[in-house]
Amino acid sequence: MRSMYFEGERAHLPVENPTSSITALPSAHLAEMSLPPELISRILRDLGDDTESLRSISLVSKAWVGCCQAHLFKSVHLRPTTLKGWSKNVCKAVGGPGSHTRTLMLEESHSLHWINPQYPRFPLSNLASFSDVRFLSLIQWDSTHFDGASLEPYFGHFGNSLRAMNLQSCTFDPATLVDFLCLLPNLDDLWLSHCFLHSATPTTTLSVPEVTPTFRGTLSLGDLGSVYFFEALAKLPLRFSTIKLKDYHCHGEGAYELLLNSCRDTLVALHYMHIHRDAPFPNVLLGSCLKLEELHVRLRVRGATGLTPYLTTLFSSITSPKFRKISLTFVDLAKGGGRPGWSLQGTISLSSLDMVLSTLAQRVQDVGGKLTLQLNFSGVGPSLDVDHDLQNFLGRGGLVDVNYD
């Protein structure tokens, strides 16, 4: 066909270009061409994070704009440097691109506000354009951002959709934190890291509204600077099923106790991450968590010398009839990423844990279950003689799962 066309062109014959019927179509006609919704969704899904292609496709038809925006604006991260353009072009349009956002990260810089109070802040009124957010992350926010104003007009509309929230490097007073959380009755998961509470409002005077979050998911805490966080959270009906404590340092006594006492009727999995021998294990209250099924402990081996007695006490305190799994993860095995033949001797001895593990395995076996000990090694792991070191544990129905990463 192609050769026929060029031959006819040389003879000046009226031969039609076989591609002209497509390329000559006006863009308006192309826009009217319909495709099955499943095919459109597949095309957009395969494009993934190719924002340039998604922007181009959104110009094909008005009917495609919403589909493309759903991918382009599903996750939005606003920083002070990008705030002005976003606020001017997008945030004022209620029902616009912000309605497709499911993950919203708002990053402030309170250190810059201390230096220059005129430094731009995120306009709280613009939050109304984000109508169906599932995960909200606030980074470097503090109570002064709200200036004592009611939070309900700005964050209240998140209450029906928001399921998880992350507060990172934030500073709140207890009253603001409690009021904020109580606006989100469907909130399940809460992440707090590098946060501080100042005692502008004594926690003993806090009043909690009748409508409170469900808190049935995961609570993740990392490097909190004050026990006030726990005192404020303890005012709420916590029902977390999973608690993760990472790089934990807290100034104040009784923080662990406040937390576990609040969740002892619902706690299913407890994670200790990067603990050290000075960590105050809440052994007594751990025994009152009668729905506990899993305990995960992440250890920095080079700093774990002498942890065996702590782990022995920790394992001994478990009394839950539903308990089925212990996971020990060893990291920083040796300088340079580990070496073959690395030994647990001098840090944590598996053979010295055999007795307490076998007692726990027998208790699990008595209720018709099997206790699994999972050993995870980062880098090049040690050569283990599991059959010798854990012979009593294995003899009571215990299972060992060793993983090398």
What pLDDT score was predicted for residue 142? 79
Q: Check whether residue 233 and residue 289 sit in a common domain.
A: no
- The structure tokens listed for 2 are 């192609």
pTM recorded for the entire structure = 0.77
270 beta partners: 243, 295
What pLDDT score was predicted for residue 39? 77
Nearest to 269 by CA among 295, 232, 297, 289: 295
Q: Check whether residue 292 and residue 204 sit in a common domain.
A: no
Give a yes or no: residue 50 inside a domain: no
User: How far is residue 269's CA from residue 291's CA, in Å, rounded to a whole number?
Assistant: 9
What pLDDT score was predicted for residue 165? 94
CB atoms within 10 A of CB 10: 7
Q: Check whether residue 231 and residue 282 sit in a common domain.
A: no
Give a yes or no: residue 256 inside a domain: no
Q: Check whether residue 24 and residue 103 sit in a common domain.
A: no
What pLDDT score was predicted for residue 76? 87
Q: Check whether residue 299 and residue 225 sit in a common domain.
A: no
Q: Check whether residue 278 and residue 394 sit in a common domain.
A: yes
Q: Check whether residue 222 and residue 336 sit in a common domain.
A: no
Q: Check whether residue 200 and residue 147 sit in a common domain.
A: yes
Give a yes or no: residue 143 inside a domain: yes
Give a yes or no: residue 243 inside a domain: no
**What is the spatial order of strands in the sheet that 103-107 belongs to?**
75-78, 103-107, 135-139, 164-168, 189-193, 218-222, 242-246, 269-275, 294-300, 325-331, 372-377, 399-404
Q: Please, which residues have CB within 8 angstroms of residue 161's CB and are 6 or more apart in sequence?
A: 131, 132, 133, 134, 186
Give a yes or no: residue 170 inside a domain: yes
Q: What number of residues does the chain have?
A: 405
Domain region containing 153: 73-237
- Look up the CATH number of the domain holding residue 201: 3.80.10
pLDDT along the chain (405 residues), means of 10: 37 39 39 64 74 79 77 83 62 72 84 55 78 92 72 85 90 80 88 74 62 81 70 80 74 64 89 64 75 89 66 88 92 52 62 92 94 85 81 94 86
Number of H helices, E strands in the chain: 17, 14
What pLDDT score was predicted for residue 338? 45
Looking up tokens 């004050």 gives 226
What pLDDT score was predicted for residue 45? 73
Looking up tokens 């179509």 gives 25
Q: Check whether residue 3 and residue 100 sit in a common domain.
A: no
Give a yes or no: residue 62 inside a domain: no
Give a yes or no: residue 141 inside a domain: yes
Tally of domains within the chain: 3
Give a yes or no: residue 242 inside a domain: no
Q: Check whether residue 233 and residue 274 sit in a common domain.
A: no
